[in-house]
Amino acid sequence: MLLSDIINQLVTMDKCLKKDKVAFIRIDINSPIVNGKIIDDFRIRAHTVTLRLALDAGLKVVVLAHQGRPGQDDFTSLELHKPLLEKYLERPIKFVDDVIGPEARKQIKELKGGEILLLENVRMLSEEVIEKVPEAQAETMLVRKLAPLGDYFIFDGFAVAHRSQPSVVGFPIVMPSCMGYVFEKELRALATVFEKRGKGVTLIAGGAKIPDTLKAIEQLLKNGLVETVAVGGLVGFVFAVAKYGVVNNLLRQEIEKGGFLPYIDKARYILDKYGSQIHTPIDFAINRNGRIDIDIYSLTQVPLDIGRSTIIQFKEIIRQSDIVIFSGPMGYIEDEKFAMGTIELLRAGADRNLILGGGHTIFAAEKAGVISKAFHVSTGGRAFIQTIGGEEMPAVKALLISAKKFWA
């Protein structure tokens, strides 16, 4: 089924905007944290639009969200996110360091219309990180304790839509649910791409998510949803080795370090089938007392960016495209010298219809000054790649069930 047909079967947020009703809104404000500080608040800013719509309508808003994964350094309390949410919402918000316990439930019951309560990181509940089908997630403590206190569930967290977790897929099974503003906007932007059936659509794919990106590239080409693919970043290393053989052991060793050697065969398979549509780097930039560009046969160090000739070639591809999907940087963007490939291609893409996603890609796009010119900036990382690869999102599946069950 076409994505646009699926969207038409889902319920829009306006149906849930009823004064004094209690709405659980699942957002994704999972943000990069360094030394205990949020260093990029793009997702927080994005979701304030949805929250403001709900509050202005007089809903009693209960926010569900996560940060990091248990055991990781960035697994923190959402108390850290509260001041930023308040800053962008321009109103005070309540916070409770509890998700389903008596204090959380008491505060939900005490909410007044137009007030907002942020619950603690939902992944503090161990059941939250276990993936199961929506019907099973409806039986979790989270859903059983909270759902009876609410009237609606609004799903807005596109970036977590690929997870079949309780806070994503459990509520739609037991209560009327709808798409939040951000989520709907994301789906509609991607539907626009899919409607072109590949004509004039180019994917610029880089970054470090080798398995997901290769899968998305294969799916997009197989389904005819893109005409051209240009690869850089670590994804580009894999395709370069697959295409040119072991022209240089350095690239192969770098791929091996990450445990991605099997993906060279996968890239070779994709190249065998769709080779004429895929463009791989022909030169790279390395660090030899500064940036120098070097052809693929002469590499002496692991490359940190695509080279100048590749940039020129990829820019020409972009110039001939109507839509440019940008996912994952072309190089080591943390160092300005090696952000050049990514920044130049993003600027070229901004003259077309540019769609971009991924934390690092957005960071580079901010540096390149193209955020406001882009056709769509996705809040999703892995979810973005998976959706453009045509995979069914568990969140969508759950919302479809809810639409049939409660809104038909």
Ligand X SMILES: Nc1ncnc2c1ncn2[C@@H]1O[C@H](COP(=O)(O)OP(=O)(O)OP(=O)(O)O)[C@@H](O)[C@H]1O
Ligand Y SMILES: O=C(O)[C@H](O)COP(=O)(O)O
Q: What residue numbers does the annotated binding site for substrate cover?
A: 28-30, 43, 66-69, 123, 163
Please give the biggest Cα pair distance in the chain.
68
Among 360, 365, 368, 377, binds ligand X (CB under 6 A): 360
What CA–CA distance (Å, rounded) separates 203 from 314? 11
> Which entry of ligand X, ligand Y, none binds 28, CB below 5 to 8 A by partner kind?
ligand Y
Q: How far is the CB of 165 from ligand Y (least distance, A)?
A: 8
> Which of 354, 337, 336 lies closest to 345 in space, CA to CA?
354
Nearer to ligand Y, 75 or 244 (CB): 75
Q: How far is the CB of 20 from ligand X (least distance, A)?
A: 38
Distance, C-alpha 202 to centroid of its chain:
18
Quick one: angle between helices 233-244 and 210-222, nearest 10? Answer: 70
> Which entry of ligand X, ligand Y, none binds 304, CB below 5 to 8 A by partner kind?
ligand X
What CA–CA distance (Å, rounded) separates 217 from 283? 22
CB of 152 within 8 A of CB of 16?
yes
Q: How far is the CB of 179 from ligand X (least distance, A)?
A: 22
Q: How far is the CB of 59 from ligand X (least distance, A)?
A: 30
Q: How far is the CB of 302 from ligand Y (least distance, A)?
A: 26
* Residues in 119-178 that interact with ligand Y by CB under 6 A: 159-160, 163
What CA–CA distance (Å, rounded) separates 285 from 45? 35
Residue matched to tokens 């072309």: 330
Among 47, 163, 209, 215, binds ligand X (CB under 6 A): 209
> Which entry of ligand Y, ligand X, none binds 121, CB below 5 to 8 A by partner kind?
none
* Residues in 292-321 that interact with ligand Y by CB under 6 A: none
Nearer to ligand Y, 207 or 381 (CB): 381
Q: How far is the CB of 186 from ligand X (least distance, A)?
A: 14
Nearer to ligand Y, 157 or 281 (CB): 157
Tell me if 381 contacts ligand X by CB under 6 A.
yes
> Which entry of ligand Y, ligand X, none binds 361, CB below 5 to 8 A by partner kind?
ligand X
Among 150, 166, 170, 303, binds ligand X (CB under 6 A): 303
Binding mask 319-358 for ligand X (x = CB under 6 A): ---------xx-xxxx-----------------------x
Among 234, 251, 324, 370, binds ligand X (CB under 6 A): 234
Which pair of tokens denotes residue 367? Answer: 């540096």
> Which entry of ligand X, ligand Y, none binds 209, CB below 5 to 8 A by partner kind?
ligand X
Among 33, 140, 382, 388, binds ligand Y (CB under 6 A): 382
Among 22, 30, 138, 146, binds ligand Y (CB under 6 A): 30
Nearer to ligand Y, 232 or 381 (CB): 381
Binding-site residues from annotation for ATP: 334, 358-361
> Which entry of ligand Y, ligand X, none binds 334, CB below 5 to 8 A by partner kind?
ligand X
Nearer to ligand Y, 349 or 359 (CB): 359
Q: Total residues contacting ligand X (rule CB under 6 A)?
A: 19
Q: Is 134 exposed, middle or buried (0-12, 13-18, 19+ CB in 10 A)?
A: buried
Tally the residues of the chain: 408
* Residues in 50-79 that interact with ligand Y by CB under 6 A: 69
Residues at the contact surface with ligand Y, assessed by CB under 6 A: 28, 30, 69, 159-160, 163, 381-382
Residues at the contact surface with ligand X, assessed by CB under 6 A: 206-209, 233-234, 303-304, 328-329, 331-334, 358-361, 381
